[in-house]
Amino acid sequence: MKGLDNLQQEEQNTSRGVSPVIGVILMVAITVILAAVIATFVLGLGEQVSDTSPTASWSSSDAGEEVDEDENIVEFRHTGGSSIDADNLRISVDDSTGFFDNEGNFSLNTTADTISAGETVSLKLGDDHDNESVVLEGDTADLIWESDGTSSTLNTHTFSADMNTTDNE
């Protein structure tokens, strides 16, 4: 029986070293993870992650079938969420008539520096249009947010009817 007792003692002595080894490995892993997180923020890498599109809700409407010269043809209304810098917004029109020859990119018809809930941005027709087709039913206008090479479509409006300009003379 003495041999069996020695075998049991050896087994207990060897299994005792497992717990400290696991503890050391866990402490090293936690230290490495903390060092990586701290280094990310110290080196400024955390700032790049925060440049995402704003969280805001939008609704849109168009002017209908007949639009007068110098009238808004589409209007985007900020219905809630974060305020947005107006310099970061643009409207892109995909029209099948080819009326908009500005490669479909337009500035906003607004004087505000920031757009908050309840305010609108719109695309306005210029002067000197004589009964031309502006957009057709199914054409789209996108409200796009852009900042530092990142862009996001905030709202897409599909025109409900063919729009033609009217002469106000």
Q: Note the pLDDT of residue 107.
A: 52
Q: Note the pLDDT of residue 104.
A: 45
CB 84 within 8 A of CB 64: no
Q: Note the pLDDT of residue 12.
A: 59
The pTM of this model reads 0.61
Rg of the chain over CA atoms, in angstroms?
Answer: 32
Q: Are residues 153 and 115 in the same domain?
A: yes
CB 87 within 8 A of CB 34: no
Q: Which CATH number fits the domain that encloses residue 89?
A: 2.60.40
Among candidate residues 102, 93, 107, the one with its CA nearest the CA of residue 136:
93
Q: Are residues 84 and 31 in the same domain?
A: no
Q: What is the enclosing helix (H) or strand (E) of 149?
A: none
Residue ranges making up the domain that contains 6? 2-48
The β-bridge relationship of strands 163-166 and 66-68 is parallel
The residue whose two tokens read 């007949």 is 66
In Å, the largest CA–CA distance within the chain is 119
Q: Are residues 6 and 69 in the same domain?
A: no
Q: Are residues 32 and 75 in the same domain?
A: no
The residue whose two tokens read 């007792």 is 5
Q: Are residues 94 and 74 in the same domain?
A: yes
Q: Note the pLDDT of residue 144.
A: 87
> Mean pLDDT, consecutive 10-residue segments, the chain of 169 residues?
59 62 90 90 64 81 69 83 86 74 56 83 66 76 85 87 66
- Domains identified in the chain, total number: 2
Name the 3-class secondary structure at 114: strand
DSSP class per residue in 126-167? -S---S-EEE-TT-EEEEEEEETTEEEEEEEEE-SS-EEEE-
